Amino acid sequence: MLNLVLFGPPGAGKGTQSELLIKKYELKHLSTGDILRGEIAAQTELGMKAKQLMDKGMLVGDDVVIGMIRNLLKEHSGAKGFIFDGFPRTNEQARALDELMMEVGSEITQMVALDVPEDELIVRLLARGKDSGRADDSNPEIIKNRIKQYHLKTAPVADYYNNQGKYHTISGIGTVEEIFSRICGQIDAVAK
């Protein structure tokens, strides 16, 4: 199985690249952000609770997202592999993911981190915020808080994978196609 963690700060291009990667490698895309936005659109209780945190750029509780991933891994047990996008976002989520993968007799192949400078992230997210309808893209203060939460809670997850020899970083600057080609090169270099 190819199980890729696509990592990077808000606006790094995880969602954009995941769409291309799932086609090429026939993987199942698991984006906790997209799943949570689906819950909000369906106005579920979970969605309504998550919305209060997401709209401020704060992380949703570990238990909530780990539970969602657990269910989806079971639901898609026949998949060729997975792209985890926006998950794991804390060391607790990373430990839980290792356990969940072990339960299904597999493991994370590698983490590919997209490196994009902060000023470029802000430009991208504000541009999308003009018509995305995403409350967390709508103003610079919320975007800055998302980046702050990333540095506080999510950046340490890179060390978690680095300690396992699974962490690789690539430049997330350039055209979508250029970055896609860099990620594919990295995936193919580690493919078993």
- Count interface residues toward ligand AP5 (CB under 6 A): 29
Does residue 30 belong to the site contacting ligand AP5 (CB under 6 A)? no
Q: How far is CA 77 from the centre of its chain?
A: 20
Q: How far is the CB of 178 from ligand AP5 (least distance, A)?
A: 8
The tokens of 92 are what?
A: 């607790």
Q: What single-letter DSSP state applies at residue 57?
A: T
What does 51 bind: Mg ion, ligand AP5, none (CB cut-off 5 to 8 Å by kind)? none
Q: Which of 21, 59, 97, 108 binds ligand AP5 (CB under 6 A)?
A: 59
- Is residue 15 close enough to count as binding Mg ion by CB under 5 A? yes
The interface region with Mg ion, picked from 14-22, 65-73, 113-121, 128-136 by CB under 5 A, is 14-22
Select the residue interacting with ligand AP5 from 11, 94, 160, 180 (CB under 6 A): 11
Of 13, 39, 108, 113, the one binding ligand AP5 (CB under 6 A) is 13
Contact with ligand AP5 (CB under 6 A) among 3, 4, 8, 110? 8
Name the amino acid, one letter, at 96.
A
Order of all β-strands in the sheet with 28-31: 28-31, 81-85, 2-7, 110-115, 167-171
Encoded tokens for 23: 């086609």
Look at residue 89 and give the partner it binds from ligand AP5, Mg ion, none, a contact being a CB closer than 5 to 8 Å depending on partner kind. Answer: ligand AP5
Count the residues in the chain: 192
Interaction residues for ligand AP5, span 132-171 (CB under 6 A): 136, 146
Measured distance CA(68)–CA(84) in Å, rounded: 12
CA dihedral 63, 65, 70, 71 (to 10 degrees): 110
From the list ligand AP5, Mg ion, none, partner contacted by residue 183 (C-beta under 5 to 8 A by kind): none
Q: Work out how close the CB of 50 gets to Mg ion at its nearest, in angstroms, rounded to a whole number.
A: 15
In the chain, count of helices (H) and strands (E)? 9, 5
Q: What is the full DSSP assignment across 130-162?
A: HHH--GGGS-HHHHHHHHHHIIIIITHHHHHHH
The contact set with ligand AP5 (CB under 6 A) reads 8, 10-16, 32-33, 36, 53-54, 57-60, 65, 86-87, 89, 93, 124, 128, 136, 146, 175-176, 179
The contact set with Mg ion (CB under 5 A) reads 14-15
